[in-house]
Amino acid sequence: MGSIYLKVLKLVLLFSVSEIFAIPNDISFSVIQVTSKSMSVRWSHYSGASSYKVTATPVNSLGSSVFAQFSGNTVMGSVNSLFPNTVYNMQVEAMDNLGHVLGSAALDMSTAPPVPTINQAYSKQSDSMTVEFNEVPGASSYILRAESPVGDFFLETPVAGSPGTVQQLSPYTDYNLSVMSVNSAGRSQPSLDVQGKTGVASPRLMLTSPTNDSILVTWPLDQHIALYTITLITQGSNSNTTLTFNTTDPFMTFSNLEPGTTYCIKAKGLALDGLYGDEISVWQITRPPSPVDIQVSVNQGRSGGLTVYWQLVHGADVYIVRATSGQNCSASETTCIISPLLCGQNHSVTVTAVNSAGPSNPSGPENFMTFPCPPDHTWIEEPAAGSCMVGWTETALVDYYTAFIKRDDGVEDFCNTTDTICHFQCLCGYAYLSTVFAYNEAGTSPPGELLNYTTIPCCPEAITIALVSTETLEITWSPVRGVEFYETTAVETADVVHCKDTSPVCALSDLRCNGLYQVVVTPCSEIGGCNHTCKAFTHETDPCSPTILSVTQNNSSSNVSVLYTAPNTPNTTYTITAVGVGITDTHTCQSNSTSCQLTHLPCGATYDVTAYASTAVGQSLPSFSVPLETGPCCPTSLTVNQVTQAMTNVTWSNALGASTYVTSLTSSLGHARCHTMDTHCLMGCITCGTNYSVSLEAFSRTGHMSECSYHGFSSSSCCPSNVKLYRMANSSVRIFWRSTGPQTHTVDVMGTVSNYTCVPAPLSSFCDLADIMCEDLLRVLLWKRCRTGCLSGKEKCYLEATQLLSMSACQQKS
């Protein structure tokens, strides 16, 4: 600083004065500095000018003009001896050698006011000097100037009037002080210097309250201060107590103070020159007393935490609660909440009161215990079906546990124990959710892990097995809860899974006929697994179809023997059915063996024969059918007519189903047969007097034969032979013949004259005629005796013999 700073400041002043240019005569002209007695002006060079004349003429007051002349090389000059605070018309004229005015310029400008004088200068504060001076007329304001005696400090301060104060000075320092008056035109010359010294600064106090009953004051030492005076003021309710100490030390301790109380500390320094410097007043509070009567309460719930209570202490701004868990809270009230509260903790809290001086000693610790933590690890087991168990690890600070078990249909159960397991009944096919809570006096733990356990599904109930076709079983059952799919197997099919499906129905197809199947429906869920303990349900399939091996007609044509395979278990019944073709006629027979008799079949009919097997379960499919034709019917009537002694005409009625017949007449002597398509037949070679059995065989077109028997037939008795007439004594004639068997004959004897009667004794082979004419031609007819029914009592078979008899002893009829 110093002189350089001063010069710069002057230069700034030179150019800061307002410049007014006189345009008309091409000379620019301006006032560059004004004082109380002078004005400095500047003009522009005028070509051809050899000198310049500057004239100042008072404008509003009487008085003579003042001028000054300058050579032609000059462009700056001042006019002196002016009156302060007076308006002058300033003019510059450019002149040639001869004194002719070549050009000019003019302007009005006032001089500065008069120079004031200082009466007194003193220091109220260590950083300022107050100056009292005489005010001067025409001054609008003043400038106070402070300079260091050696000139290395310079400060100007504008002030309105007397007294004025220069601020921002250094403490305990000498200054030369002067004052200048100011108006619109400029400033006056500075007044005469006056010397002054600033006081010492107040000590720079630093205050702390190291304990609840003390205040420590420290400050840096000042070389200009000989003694420090420190005052402590205790503000009482009625009076203020003041304690004052003198010291040369840089510190002072006040003790036995009230905790949490504000004290006023004043300090000032006594300078080496014997004057007191600035005084400083500072407020300081002591540290608050320790809070007492601490209480805690653990709150459960979402916004839960540890609520800590205490009593307000004097002079505290805020209270800080610290827990040994590392958590804290603070409040300016009598309570605050430490949250979140962690489970399973055994800790203590202390409360510290704090004010601007610092914290109090912490209160005595208050213990608290939080609600327990839930068990770390929980699990569900099912040691035996239907009997489940929740287990958990032991947890600290727990009085007892409660396990809640909720079934997925909403049924709830719980178990209260100090143990670490809990049994519960679990039914098949349900999902169970379980949570374990732990309890102590502080409350409930948060819920433990949510366990999810699903039991194996139950076995299906209401299983029905139906045989939907011979080899297909349909199994249906009522749906089972919790089942994702069912597996249907049968023991007999090597446990092949027939159905794996979500729907409660399954068809087991392509099974063996007459098989006993043990069907098992296994319900499965993905989580619980499959219930493999479900029992099997047995069901039989229909019996297998028999195969007809043969159908044979027995001797008695109305019975048919059917042979078939019996591919089923012994208990199977086989039913054979013959259904008439073209007639409504059905015959059945049943058997449990491999054959069966169809009886009472009518002759001459055609049937389709099928067989099926049946058991308690059902029926097999029918076998392939086999055609059956029964033998043709026997003709209902058959007559044998003897045409001649050796020939018969056999006639019979039409027989159903017969197309050809073989008729036989059989006797011990032989038999006669005839084969015909007609219903009659002539048969020869009949022996007279023989009993024949008559039979007929009727044949169908396919060769089926029916044997028909009829009444026996007896051929007519043989005719007699060898009729002879013998003359007997007494004119009698014996008629004699040969008979082939015991036979009674009739004899007609006709003579030429008269007819005779000869009656043989029964079964005899002669008869006698008496009284025969001597000469007569006798014609004898020998008849077989007639069988019942013949009209004449004779048969055709007769012998005729004619003989002329000449009797010796002829008697003459008179």
Ligand X SMILES: *[C@@H]1O[C@H](CO)[C@@H](O)[C@H](O)[C@H]1NC(C)=O
User: Site residues (CB under 6 A) for ligand X?
Assistant: 147, 149, 151, 176, 193, 195, 211-212, 227, 229, 235, 238-240, 244, 246, 259, 289-290, 320, 322, 328, 361, 385-386, 400, 416, 428, 431, 433, 452, 455-456, 458-459, 527, 531, 533, 569-571, 592, 616, 643, 649, 651, 680, 682, 750, 753-755
CA distance 246 to 99: 83
**Is the Cβ of residue 239 or residue 808 nearer to ligand X in the bound state?**
239
Cβ at position 408, least distance to ligand X in Å: 8
CB neighbourhood size of 135 (10 A): 13
Cβ proximity of 456 and 530 under 8 Å: yes
Cβ at position 800, least distance to ligand X in Å: 14
**Is the Cβ of residue 318 or residue 718 nearer to ligand X in the bound state?**
318
Give the tokens for residue 808. Answer: 């010796």
**Is the Cβ of residue 89 or residue 334 nearer to ligand X in the bound state?**
334
Cβ at position 85, least distance to ligand X in Å: 26
From the list 570, 568, 609, the residue with the least C-alpha distance to 588 is 609
The H or E element spanning position 589 is strand 586-591
3-state secondary structure 411-439: CEEEEEECCCEEEEECCCCCEEEEEEEEE
Cβ at position 414, least distance to ligand X in Å: 7
Cβ at position 64, least distance to ligand X in Å: 36
Cβ at position 356, least distance to ligand X in Å: 15
Identify the DSSP state of 789: T
CA distance 665 to 676: 14
Cβ at position 421, least distance to ligand X in Å: 16
Query: Phi first, then psi: what are they for 584, rounded to 5°?
Result: -90, 95
Looking only at the bridges linking them, the beta strands covering 516-525 and 537-540 are: antiparallel
Cβ at position 195, least distance to ligand X in Å: 6
**Is the Cβ of residue 53 or residue 779 nearer to ligand X in the bound state?**
779
**Is the Cβ of residue 189 or residue 651 nearer to ligand X in the bound state?**
651
**Is the Cβ of residue 217 or residue 320 nearer to ligand X in the bound state?**
320
CB neighbourhood size of 239 (10 A): 8
From the list 198, 205, 257, the residue with the least C-alpha distance to 233 is 257
Q: Which amino acid is at 326?
A: G
Residue 148 class from Cβ within 10 Å (0-12 exposed, 13-18 middle, 19+ buried)? middle
Task: Compute the half-sphere exposure of residue 668: CA atoms within 13 Å on the CB side of its CA.
Answer: 3
Torsion, Cα 97 101 106 111, to 10 degrees, reads 50
Task: Compute the half-sphere exposure of residue 551: CA atoms within 13 Å on the CB side of its CA.
Answer: 27
Cβ at position 71, least distance to ligand X in Å: 35
Cβ proximity of 399 and 416 under 8 Å: no
SS3 14: helix
Give the tokens for residue 575. Answer: 């039913």
**Is the Cβ of residue 91 or residue 352 nearer to ligand X in the bound state?**
352
CA distance 327 to 309: 16
Identify the DSSP state of 504: S
**Is the Cβ of residue 383 or residue 570 nearer to ligand X in the bound state?**
570
Cβ at position 152, least distance to ligand X in Å: 9
**Is the Cβ of residue 23 or residue 677 nearer to ligand X in the bound state?**
677
Cβ at position 580, least distance to ligand X in Å: 25
Cis ω on the peptide bond leading into residue 163 (within 30° of 0)? yes
**Is the Cβ of residue 239 or residue 555 nearer to ligand X in the bound state?**
239
**Is the Cβ of residue 507 or residue 750 nearer to ligand X in the bound state?**
750
Query: Phi first, then psi: what are they for 14, rounded to 5°?
Result: -55, -45
